[in-house]
Structure 1
């Protein structure tokens, strides 16, 4: 998603985040994010990647300072489509923290969740790579085990359980099992009405707001 569609989605999410008074993370193509920052007020605008470099040489890389200058507040790291080594992930999380960017780090297995929690990101998205975009959400055992693995290392890390979440029932399931939040992509994009789908999921989520 990009351009006008991305802006349309952002404005819908912005309106509903205000309606329900919840923290809503919105990611998008880097080239669209600065426009979205300027035209929304209630979203945590989030880059889908950044690099750990400092100003200087870096052709083709995503400079952390550039994100901050554009008004971006957070960054997703280590998504299944943009994986990082532990060394690169460690360095990138530290660079983000230097600049006050919220770090949202993806992890696949229970072992990965435990290892990445040691790097102390602000938030983790625990989701099996095999379920991303399938419409099938994680089973109860996975949600409980990954949540436990993260909390045993650092109880301050926020946990999102997100793979395949696409309706209110999925939201209720992951939140009841101990997640701090959830999200969706394909389930929203493929819905007949983006606004109705986001409203459905946010209305389910707000019942668990702390």
Structure 2
């Protein structure tokens, strides 16, 4: 599976996000590989209504509806059509207590969760809190030319044996070989952003990445 992090790129906002995710939907249907967009909160309802695909939020806060000015509530995300949310991305990091509170609050409102961990130590703690997925990525490798799977292959293999959840690998993932290597190491998916969103041909890049799952399985 591919978690497609859309961040706040212009190429993945408003009308542009519909165009991009229409391509992602086509590739997912062609290859049978789930491609889950992690969208801006402002685009979730539109994506769900126009494309009828699974869509996740990039962040949520551990709050119930009420007096929480400027926060993102799991209740409102669920109403908008989100089916899950990412927690603790390096660009929107939270402390350990907040990670647990957010997982619990997401469960309360029927949202799935993917928690991003930069260390094995944190992942060992997070797995006990029972999110749906755990992602492993180093902040310094995000959007760079060196991939997490190339730099930390041994750690990925180790972590895949420790945690209870499917392991997703991110940071610098940009090629079919990265996908294949991730799967061989015990990962079950990847999370990436700029490799697709900023690509000259996002559909071709997504197809290349998705086919990494097919060829590995074959």
Please confirm whether the aligned pair reaches a TM-score higher than 0.5, indicating the same fold.
yes
Contact 1:49 1:76 in 2 (8 A): yes
Which digits, 9 at most, give the CA deviation of each residue in 1:31-77, with x for residues without a partner?
11110111223x42010001111122111110111111111101000
Instruction: Kindly indicate whether residue 58 of structure 2 is the aligned counterpart of residue 58 of structure 1.
Output: no
Q: Which runs of 5+ in 1 are unaligned?
A: none
Take 1:139 and 1:17, find their aligned partners in 2: how far apart are those partners?
23
1:15 deviation in Å? 1.1
For 1:28, the equivalent position in structure 2 comes to 39
1:170 to 1:150, Cα distance in 2 relative to 1, 3 A: closer
Name the structure, 1 or 2, with higher relative contact order (CA <8 Å, separation 6+).
2
1:131 to 1:170, Cα distance in 2 relative to 1, 3 A: same
1:147 to 1:105, Cα distance in 2 relative to 1, 3 A: farther
**1:135 alignment partner, SS class:** coil
User: How much is the aligned-residue C-alpha RMSD, in angstroms?
Assistant: 1.8
Give the alignment of 1:123-142 within 5 angstroms.
Answer: 123-139=133-149, 142=152
1:87 deviation in Å? 0.9
Take 1:193 and 1:132, find their aligned partners in 2: how far apart are those partners?
20
Take 1:61 and 1:100, find their aligned partners in 2: how far apart are those partners?
18
Contact 2:156 2:186 in 1 (8 A): no
Instruction: Kindly indicate whether residue 209 of structure 2 is the aligned counterpart of residue 201 of structure 1.
Output: yes
Take 1:183 and 1:35, find their aligned partners in 2: how far apart are those partners?
22
Q: Give the total of aligned pairs.
A: 207
Contact 1:117 1:150 in 2 (8 A): no
For 1:106, the equivalent position in structure 2 comes to 116
Give the alignment of 1:1-210 within 5 angstroms.
Answer: 1=9, 2-41=13-52, 43-139=53-149, 142-149=152-159, 151-152=161-162, 154-155=163-164, 157-208=165-216
Take 1:202 and 1:128, find their aligned partners in 2: how far apart are those partners?
23
Take 2:92 and 2:126, find their aligned partners in 1: how far apart are those partners?
15
For 2:5, the equivalent position in structure 1 comes to none
TM-score of the two chains, using structure 1 as the length reference: 0.91
**1:81 alignment partner, SS class:** helix
Following TM superposition, the consecutive aligned residue runs of length 4 or more in structure 1 with deviations greater than 3 angstroms are 207-210
Q: Which runs of 5+ in 2 are unaligned?
A: 1-8
TM-score of the two chains, using structure 2 as the length reference: 0.88
